[in-house]
Structure 1
Amino acid sequence: MKTLFTPPWWAASPHVQTILPFIFKVARPITFRQRQELPDGDFIDLDWLGQAQNGAPILVIIHGLEGNTESHYARRMLIEAKKAKMSAVVHHHRGCSGEPNRLARSYHSGDVNDLAHTLEQLKHYYPDSPLYAVGYSLGGNVLAKYQGSKKQHSLLERAVVVSAPLTLGACAKRLESGFSTLYQRFLIKRLQHKMLDKLNTADLTEQMPITKEQLKMLNTFYLFDDKVTAPLHGFIDVNDYYQQSSGLGYLQHITKPTLVIHAKDDPFMTDEVIPKQAQLSPMVEYELHECGGHVGFVEGGWPWKPRFYLERRIIEFIRTTGDTATEHDTSASLVSHK
Structure 2
Amino acid sequence: MGALVSQVWTARSSRAPRLHFAPDPAKVLVRSPGVTGSEAGEESNEALDEFIAARCPTLCREFSPPWWLFNGHLQTAYAVMGDFSKIDRVEYDRTLLRTLDGGTIGLDATPPINECELPEDTPIVIVLHGLTGGSHESYVRAILAPACTPVEQGGLGYRGIVVNFRGCAGVPLTSPQLYSAGHTDDIRVAVMHIANRYPRARLLGIGFSLGANVLTRYLAEEGTHSRLAAGCAVACPWDCVRNAAGLEDQWLHRTVYAKAMAQNLQRLLARHAEAIAKFPEHPLATILPEVLNNRSMSLTQFDDKVTCIAGGSSPPFPFPSAWDYYAWASSHEILVKIRVPFLALNADDDPIVQVLPIEAGGNPYVAFAVTEKGGHLGWFEKVQSTGEIRRWVRHPILEWLKATGEDLVVKDRQIKSLHIVDGFLKEVGRDDIGCKEVEGGGHVVGVEGEEGLLAGL
The 8 Å contact of residues 103 and 177 in structure 2, kept in 1 or not, is answered as: no
The 8 Å contact of residues 53 and 126 in structure 1, kept in 2 or not, is answered as: no
Q: What does residue 251 of structure 1 align with?
A: 335
Q: What does residue 221 of structure 1 align with?
A: 299
Q: 1:142 offset after TM fit, Å? A: 0.4
Q: Does 1:184 pair with 2:258?
A: yes
Q: What does residue 352 of structure 2 align with?
A: 268
Q: Distance in 1 between matches of 2:62 and 2:338?
A: 25
Q: Distance in 2 between matches of 1:278 and 1:293?
A: 21
Q: Does 1:308 pair with 2:308?
A: no
Residue by residue, what CA displacement relative to the aligned partner does 1:44-65 show, whole Å, maximum 9, x if unpaired? Answer: 1111112454211000111000
Q: 1:199 offset after TM fit, Å? A: 4.6
Q: What does residue 308 of structure 2 align with?
A: 230
Find 1:212's aligned residue among 281, 289, 295. Answer: 289
Find 1:79's aligned residue among 125, 139, 145. Answer: 145
Same amino acid, percent of matched pairs: 29
The 8 Å contact of residues 335 and 361 in structure 2, kept in 1 or not, is answered as: yes
Give the letter aligned to residue 94 of structure 1: R
Q: Does 1:156 pair with 2:228?
A: yes
Q: What does residue 240 of structure 1 align with?
A: 324
The 8 Å contact of residues 147 and 154 in structure 1, kept in 2 or not, is answered as: yes
Where do 1:318-329 residues align within 5 Å? 318-320=401-403, 321-322=407-408
Q: What does residue 365 of structure 2 align with?
A: 283
Q: Distance in 1 between matches of 2:138 and 2:391?
A: 11
Q: 1:288 offset after TM fit, Å? A: 1.3
What root-mean-square deviation, in Å, do the aligned CA atoms of Structure 1 and Structure 2 show? Answer: 2.2
User: Do the aligned partners of residues 213 and 42 (structure 1) sit closer, same or farther apart at CA in structure 2, a change above 3 Å counting?
Assistant: closer
The 8 Å contact of residues 164 and 171 in structure 2, kept in 1 or not, is answered as: no
Q: Does 1:293 pair with 2:375?
A: yes
Aligned residues: 322
Q: 1:74 offset after TM fit, Å? A: 1.0
User: Do the aligned partners of residues 78 and 211 (structure 1) sit closer, same or farther apart at CA in structure 2, a change above 3 Å counting?
Assistant: closer
Q: Does 1:7 pair with 2:68?
A: no
Find 1:136's aligned residue among 204, 208, 212. Answer: 208
User: TM-score, normalised to structure 2's length?
Assistant: 0.66
Q: Distance in 2 between matches of 1:287 and 1:148?
A: 19
Q: 1:37 offset after TM fit, Å? A: 1.8
The 8 Å contact of residues 156 and 402 in structure 2, kept in 1 or not, is answered as: no
Give the letter aligned to residue 252 of structure 2: F
User: Do the aligned partners of residues 21 and 224 (structure 1) sit closer, same or farther apart at CA in structure 2, a change above 3 Å counting?
Assistant: closer
User: Do the aligned partners of residues 34 and 111 (structure 1) sit closer, same or farther apart at CA in structure 2, a change above 3 Å counting?
Assistant: same
Q: Does 1:91 pair with 2:150?
A: no
Point out which structure has higher relative CO (alpha carbons under 8 A, 6+ apart). Answer: 2
Residue by residue, what CA displacement relative to the aligned partner does 1:86-135 show, whole Å, maximum 9, x if unpaired? Answer: 01111101110214311111100011111111111111111110000110
The 8 Å contact of residues 96 and 107 in structure 2, kept in 1 or not, is answered as: yes
Q: Distance in 2 between matches of 1:99 and 1:59?
A: 20
The 3-state SS of whatever aligns with 2:107 is strand
The 3-state SS of whatever aligns with 2:221 is helix
User: TM-score, normalised to structure 1's length?
Assistant: 0.88
The 3-state SS of whatever aligns with 2:130 is coil
The 8 Å contact of residues 381 and 390 in structure 2, kept in 1 or not, is answered as: yes
Q: Highest CA radius of gyration, 1 or 2? A: 2
Q: 1:290 offset after TM fit, Å? A: 1.3
Q: 1:195 offset after TM fit, Å? A: 2.8
Q: What does residue 278 of structure 2 align with?
A: 203
The 3-state SS of whatever aligns with 1:122 is helix
Give the letter aligned to residue 301 of structure 1: V
Structure 2 residue ranges without an equivalent (≥5): 1-53, 149-154, 411-457
Q: Does 1:70 pair with 2:132?
A: no
